[in-house]
């Protein structure tokens, strides 16, 4: 959706019916404030990959199952919040 929008700093009001966040904000290098993640999202692969200016993750809802590389390359990340125990793939989620 916003993949590669390098000047994007924040986003509000994501449609609550969105079910996939795959590469949603990937390479948005100036994103500082991640939005609230809708409760229906299940695929979070590479959602914030290379968003190098975020310092905290949004709360990850219970509906998320796949977080492959979700925060890969988020080098300023200092805290994370994953609510549910439904995540089955965390490979490289916080790498880099």
Summarised one tens digit per residue, pLDDT across range 54-69 is 999 998 999 999 999 9
Mean pLDDT over 31-50 rounds to 95
Of 5, 90, 81, the closest CA to residue 36 belongs to: 81
CB 41 within 8 A of CB 15: no
* Residue 1: pLDDT band with limits 50, 70, 90: confident
Alpha carbons 74 and 84: distance in angstroms, whole number:
22
Alpha carbons 1 and 84: distance in angstroms, whole number:
25
* Residue 85: pLDDT band with limits 50, 70, 90: low
How far the first Cα of the chain sits from its last, in Å, is 23
Q: Is the pLDDT of residue 81 over 90?
A: no
Instruction: Give the global pTM.
Output: 0.92
Q: What is the pLDDT of residue 15?
A: 95
Structure tokens at 15: 């449609």
Mean pLDDT over 9-21 rounds to 94
């Amino acid at each position: 959706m916003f993949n590669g929008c390098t000047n994007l700093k924040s986003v509000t009001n994501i449609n609550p019916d969105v079910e996939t966040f795959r590469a949603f904000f990937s390479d948005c290098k100036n994103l500082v404030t991640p939005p609230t993640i809708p409760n229906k999202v299940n695929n979070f692969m590479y959602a914030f990959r290379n968003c190098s200016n975020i310092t905290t993750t949004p709360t990850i809802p219970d509906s998320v199952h796949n977080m492959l590389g979700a925060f890969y390359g988020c080098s300023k990340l200092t805290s994370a919040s994953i609510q549910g125990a439904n995540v089955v793939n965390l490979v490289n989620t916080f790498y880099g």
